[in-house]
A and B are shown apart, each in its own frame.
Chain A
Amino acid sequence: MSTLTVDGLTVAFGGIKALDEVSFHVEPGEVFAIIGPNGAGKSTIFNAISRIYTARAGSIRFHGREILELPPHEVVRLGIARTFQNIELFEKATVLQNLLVGRHSRVRRSAWREFLFLPGVRRGERAARRKVEEILDLLDMQHLRDALVCDLPYGARKNVELARALCAEPELLLLDEPASGLNPEETADMSFWLKDIKEELGVTIVMVEHDMNLVGRIANRVMALAGGRVLSVGSVEEVQSNERVQTAYLGAAA
């Protein structure tokens, strides 16, 4: 069964359809890239999956479970974590705190026990740190552990956001432009990490990305989107040679 099945998804703001009957599916273990010009509706797909936008029609199923019926905070519990295009970190907290919030969907909470800091709370904190530590090692960012996010440079923040999403132990990772704003070296690191995440952790990845180099290196399949409609789905070469995709990027005269 497909990991993620999107069927006839339509999202509209007033009269403007940001997504118009978009359908695709993502298979377990693959890297699925979504490309398209600005305003094509790429991020809108992610925002519909994480229930920030309300879909007007269609369905999004994760292992057969309908996501559109869930409140936003329960999506991650199914095993879907994401990053944001413009980085949404908890600015005035340390990297460690950010990553621990990433564990939120996997820990049990009880405010009054925490208020008294009963022994169970301490055990939970230790366990959460062990998991966070694995992610810190994987992404090679131990040295940032106690830094405040607002003191970090852009590239480091991008990584922290990726790490935070991984802390939720997702089965499916939604990455919104993971390489935007990164320099070539950082982009190369990112592509290695994404491979690691896919191969070592067995995470399925859906990513929105403009950098075709990165897409070509790691994506198994690509979907091209323009004006809220699917133009083409297939391997990188197939999509790049597709006439409608070329028209969308270069204009009709080409």
Chain B
Amino acid sequence: MRVLFKTSYDQDIDLLVLPGERMRVGALIALAILAPLLLSSYYLSELAIFFSFALAGIGLMVLTGFSGQVSFGHAAFVGIGAYVHAVLVARGVPFPLALAAAGLLAGGVGAALGRAVSAMHGFYLAIATLAFSIVMETVIGAMEPVTGGHMGMPVPGIALFGVALEEAWQQHYLYLAVLLFFVWGVANLMRAPTGRAMIAVRDSETSARSLGIDVRSAKMTAFFVSALIAGVAGGLLAHQLQYLSPETFGVGMSLKLMLMIVVGGLGSISGAIFGAVFVSFLPNAIDALRALMPDGLVSQAGLESFIFGAFIAAFIIFEPDGLHGRWRKLRLFLETYPYYKRATFIRQKRYLKTGRFR
């Protein structure tokens, strides 16, 4: 097992300290930068959609993974962001301003919702966010003069400082930059007091309070940051979808985001990225599997969502730490071989009910 001997406080403040981590992240970023040389423009635009989803996943990770607040309606914030951005861009507002406005507005709505639900018991919050997203879908549909209702609305192209970014590689770099900025920002937040306050609220509200954390404001901050990131992701996604309709941002998308962070591993930034990769490739994998399955099953419309559900369930039951946790175990196995102990990772269960009061 590798032990890092720290010689200065900066070593536990800095983000990527271990040489292995640095190499892996560096390689990923290099790969992303080189992607336009390797991929056709079709795959580049697929990659842009992937970046948008990964960003939205990071948004949800802040809320559910780090702050422990389950949201089944995060697609609503993506939707708010997408519509605000598209409407503003169509009215001639410059791209960066429109994207910022989309993020801030989604964040504002998120903070308002967070304020209202901050006193709620965990599952009330989950139901409230679910209901919120169903209501938002209907409201967007009903606001026909602005949003085009259920007929949908077209999204204009991207223009940055008067230059139209029509080529896929131009958009690729723009999206990559936005994604990296937010990944960096969230990583910063999590190594600073605000992020630790979120983790504290997730793990024990009572002791968070006793240590001086205003639980309500911590939850509101989490909602704000999370919804802001989702809103920005929505703005980015809008350009790739090219055509917005309220159904796009329904419960289905919320569950997809949830699948991403559960599969990736709740409570880790790399988990959100791993999860996004997984979810993006899942439909392709299912397509590939279709060849092996009997004809009757292949044509079934529900197959994809069944497999989605099955993956979430399987991860929750067998690997609650997600791919990130699997990776940790694998690394420890290799590092400590042959002394690996399975028991290292057996979690202590906390049974409910034994000591609760009304």
Q: Do A and B come from one complex?
A: yes
Decide: B206 and A104 in contact? CB cutoff 8 A. no
Known contacts A13-B357, A125-B192; A104/B185 CB under 8 A: no
A contact residues around B203 at 8 Å (CB): 89-93
B contact residues around A117 at 8 Å (CB): 188, 191-192
B contact residues around A107 at 8 Å (CB): 193
Decide: B348 and A150 in contact? CB cutoff 8 A. yes
Interface size on B, residues (CB 8 A): 39
A42 on the interface (CB 8 Å rule)?
A: no
A contact residues around B213 at 8 Å (CB): 73, 101, 104
**Nearest-neighbor residue (CB-CB) of A85 within chain B:** B355
**Nearest-neighbor residue (CB-CB) of B357 within chain A:** A13
A96 on the interface (CB 8 Å rule)?
A: yes
* Minimal beta-carbon separation of B56 from chain A (angstroms): 18
Known contacts A13-B358, A115-B185; A88/B206 CB under 8 A: yes
Decide: A168 and B212 in contact? CB cutoff 8 A. yes
| Binary flags per residue of B1-44, CB closer than 8 Å to A gives 1, else 0 | 00000000110110000000000000000000000000000000
B196 touches which one: A81, A92, A100, A129 (CB < 8 A)?
A100
B326 on the interface (CB 8 Å rule)?
A: no
B contact residues around A116 at 8 Å (CB): 185, 188
A221 on the interface (CB 8 Å rule)?
A: no
| Binary flags per residue of A52-96, CB closer than 8 Å to B gives 1, else 0 | 100000000000000000011111110001101010111111001
Decide: A93 and B199 in contact? CB cutoff 8 A. yes
A109 on the interface (CB 8 Å rule)?
A: yes
B13 touches which one: A72, A104, A126 (CB < 8 A)?
A126
| Binary flags per residue of A99-123, CB closer than 8 Å to B gives 1, else 0 | 0111111010101001111000110
B207 touches which one: A71, A89, A109, A111 (CB < 8 A)?
A89
B200 on the interface (CB 8 Å rule)?
A: yes
B200 touches which one: A90, A146, A151 (CB < 8 A)?
A90
| Binary flags per residue of B178-215, CB closer than 8 Å to A gives 1, else 0 | 00000001101101111111011011101111111111
Known contacts A104-B193, A115-B189, A125-B9; A50/B209 CB under 8 A: yes
B contact residues around A105 at 8 Å (CB): 211-212
A contact residues around B13 at 8 Å (CB): 122, 125-126, 129
Bound CA–CA A146/B347 (angstroms) = 18
Residue of B193, B195, B197, B200 contacting most chain A CB atoms (<10 Å): B193
**Nearest-neighbor residue (CB-CB) of B207 within chain A:** A88
Chain B binding site: helix, strand, loop or mixed by DSSP?
helix
A158 on the interface (CB 8 Å rule)?
A: no
Bound CA–CA A74/B10 (angstroms) = 30
A164 on the interface (CB 8 Å rule)?
A: yes
* Minimal beta-carbon separation of A207 from chain B (angstroms): 16
B221 on the interface (CB 8 Å rule)?
A: yes
Decide: B211 and A121 in contact? CB cutoff 8 A. no
Known contacts A92-B203, A104-B197, A114-B188; A77/B212 CB under 8 A: yes
A97 on the interface (CB 8 Å rule)?
A: yes
Known contacts A77-B212, A104-B193; A84/B207 CB under 8 A: yes
Decide: B206 and A52 in contact? CB cutoff 8 A. yes
**Nearest-neighbor residue (CB-CB) of B197 within chain A:** A104
Known contacts A13-B358, A111-B189; A81/B210 CB under 8 A: yes
**Nearest-neighbor residue (CB-CB) of A76 within chain B:** B212
B267 on the interface (CB 8 Å rule)?
A: yes
A contact residues around B191 at 8 Å (CB): 117, 125
Bound CA–CA A103/B13 (angstroms) = 16
Bound CA–CA A97/B195 (angstroms) = 10
Bound CA–CA A104/B210 (angstroms) = 10
* Residues of B that sit less than 8 Å from A by CB: 9-10, 12-13, 185-186, 188-189, 191-197, 199-200, 202-204, 206-215, 221, 225, 267, 344, 347-348, 355, 357-358
Known: A73-B212, A164-B211. 19 other contacts (CB 8 A): A13-B357, A73-B214, A75-B210, A76-B210, A81-B210, A81-B211, A84-B207, A84-B210, A89-B207, A90-B200, A92-B199, A109-B192, A111-B189, A111-B194, A114-B189, A122-B10, A125-B13, A150-B347, A168-B212
13 A-B interface contacts by CB (under 8 A): A73-B213, A76-B211, A89-B203, A89-B207, A92-B199, A92-B267, A97-B199, A100-B193, A104-B196, A105-B211, A115-B185, A122-B13, A130-B9
Closest CB pairs A-B (n = 5)? A105-B212, A114-B192, A88-B207, A90-B203, A117-B188
